[in-house]
Amino acid sequence: MSAMTGNNAPLEAQMKKALEVEGRSLWQDARARLFRNKAAVASMVLLGIIVFLAVFGPMFWVHDYDTVYKDRVALPPSWENWHFLGTDVQGRDLFVRLLMGLRVSLAVGLVATTVSLVIGVLWGATAGYIGGRLDEVMMRIVDVLYAMPFIFFVIILMVIFRDATAGKPALNILLIFVAIGAVEWLTMARIVRGQTITLKGREFIEAAEAAGVRPLKIVVRHIVPNVLGPVVVYVTLTIPAVILAESFLSFIGLGVQEPLTSLGKLINDGAKNMETMPWTLFVPGITMMVTLFCFNFIGDGLRDAIDPKDR
């Protein structure tokens, strides 16, 4: 009897150890796959450095972004007086203006994407869950807005409210947040609606309905959390699109107002002086390119991590 007990001891120890192993959720598996993606991890590290410099750099730099040095106009990059990237045609330090422009562009991308995220998720989840005539009306509104050129719609809003924001850079940036976010939610709404239609026939939704849970509560507590996977991926790809849209508006003179700046405005200023001061174009252009690459690599990594079948 004791011999049998001794033979079973290793097996019992293995079973006990197996039971003690903590199970991993789908999100934990996705995180593990994401951190195995070297391009995504490197992009997260680089983007973290970029965000840190954009947020804290202008606070601690020796020059202010709006300080004009009349005796240092259009200086080339040098170590003298800490003008690493030189000065612009008005005598302002270009390095701190690059950091400020990066901060403004990132803020526009994040805030406008958040606006589109809130509107798009609630709109698409509501339309997909309720269905019927309400779904038809809500999605026809989306189709009508889709038919309107994106940039044209944003430009109309910017022109209409230009007088109200004249001389008020903060209000102008707020308008850019609203203008871009108000039209970027359309694709988000379609994605969420499609995911919701596939979810609303699942057992846990039927159980919630049988328990008498209100439709709004089902949407918020059951539908929205289960569509976050594709939504998170799309958000990481929306941020660079929003940054490009804001840069285009600033490039044509409808974006950020002086003395504030953005990457698009810096590129516009650099294009005007490309022959005599080429670094004023190349540096903000390369900065924007690297930032957008980081967001795109992170988005690809999240897509592969959340749905490995897409690899």
How far is Cα 129 from Cα 219, in angstroms, rounded to an integer? 7
Whether 80 is covered by a domain: the verdict is: yes
Q: What is the pLDDT along the chain (311 residues), one digit of tens a residue?
A: 444 444 555 555 554 544 444 455 666 777 888 888 899 999 999 999 999 999 999 999 999 998 999 888 888 998 888 888 989 989 999 999 999 999 999 998 888 888 888 888 889 988 998 888 999 999 999 988 888 777 777 777 777 777 766 667 777 777 777 778 778 888 889 988 988 888 887 888 888 888 888 888 888 888 887 887 788 888 888 888 888 888 888 887 777 878 888 898 899 889 888 888 999 999 999 999 999 999 999 988 888 887 655 44
Render pLDDT for 253-267 as a digit per residue (tens, 0 to 9). Answer: 777 878 888 898 899
Which single residue is written with the structure tokens 């007086």? 81
| pLDDT of 56 | 95
| pLDDT of 237 | 82
Whether 102 is covered by a domain: the verdict is: yes
Whether 14 is covered by a domain: the verdict is: no
Whether 228 is covered by a domain: the verdict is: yes
How far is Cα 130 from Cα 147, in angstroms, rounded to an integer? 25
Give how many domains the chain has, as a whole number. Answer: 1
How far is Cα 116 from Cα 118, in angstroms, rounded to an integer? 6
Whether 218 is covered by a domain: the verdict is: yes
DSSP category for residue 309: G
Whether 2 is covered by a domain: the verdict is: no
Whether 3 is covered by a domain: the verdict is: no
CATH number of domain containing 302: 1.10.3720.10
Secondary structure of residue 30 in the 3-state scheme: helix
Whether 122 is covered by a domain: the verdict is: yes
Cα distances (angstroms) measured from residue 70 to each of 20, 93, 143, 254: 71, 11, 53, 27
Residue 296 belongs to domain spanning? 26-310
What long-range pairs does 266-275 form, CB within 8 A, spacing at least 24? Answer: 266/97, 266/98, 266/101, 269/88, 269/89, 273/74, 273/89
How far is Cα 290 from Cα 46, in angstroms, rounded to an integer? 9
